[in-house]
């Protein structure tokens, strides 16, 4: 499987967005949240995934490269909101009222559940199944 190189400017954009949104959340809740780990290992048609217990966000490198700033502005807050909701409320519905509230009120970002990126490039890549997530069982 081909490994994509993410330009440093895009990596910096991801981190700037992440840190700005973490600061917003910290100000809102009057606390400091740890910075989650970021990896560019998400595969398939998902733009990103929040790994709650690991406090990690996985981003799709192909979709990041193709959509750049739009991806950063939409996907980074989306996945961060999942982590923040888990930290504040525990396990709740993935895109339920707590998540929508976190997106709109705390992170001041539109609460969109899905992305509308062109998926042609990621659909043509071979998919790697992973059993690392205990909440998912491969078919």
Instruction: State the CATH number of the domain containing residue 103.
Output: 3.30.2010.10
Q: Report pTM.
A: 0.82
| CA dihedral sign, ordered 105, 106, 110, 112 | negative
**Residue 70, in any domain of the structure:** yes
DSSP 19: H
In a domain, 113, yes or no: no
From its phi and psi, is residue 70 left (phi > 0), alpha (psi between -120 and 50) or beta?
alpha
Whether the per-residue pLDDT at 64 is higher than 90: the answer is: yes
Q: Domains in the chain: how many in total?
A: 1
Cite the active site residues: 79
Which contacts qualify for 96-104: CB closer than 8 Å, 24 or more apart? 102/25, 103/77, 103/78
pLDDT bracket for residue 124 (50, 70, 90)? low
């Amino acid at each position: 499987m081909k490994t994509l190189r993410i330009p440093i400017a895009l990596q910096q954009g991801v981190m700037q967005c992440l840190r700005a949104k973490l600061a917003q959340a910290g100000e809102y809740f009057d606390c400091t949240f740890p910075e989650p780990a970021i990896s560019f290992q998400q595969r398939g048609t998902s733009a990103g995934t929040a790994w709650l217990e690991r406090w990690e966000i996985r981003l799709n490198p192909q979709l990041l490269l193709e959509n750049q700033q739009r991806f950063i502005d939409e996907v980074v807050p989306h996945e961060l909101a999942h982590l923040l909701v888990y930290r504040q409320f525990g396990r709740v519905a993935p895109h339920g009222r707590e998540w929508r509230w976190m997106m709109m009120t705390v992170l001041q970002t539109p609460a969109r559940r899905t992305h509308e990126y062109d998926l042609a490039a990621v659909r043509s890549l071979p998919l790697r199944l992973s059993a690392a997530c205990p909440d998912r069982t491969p078919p």
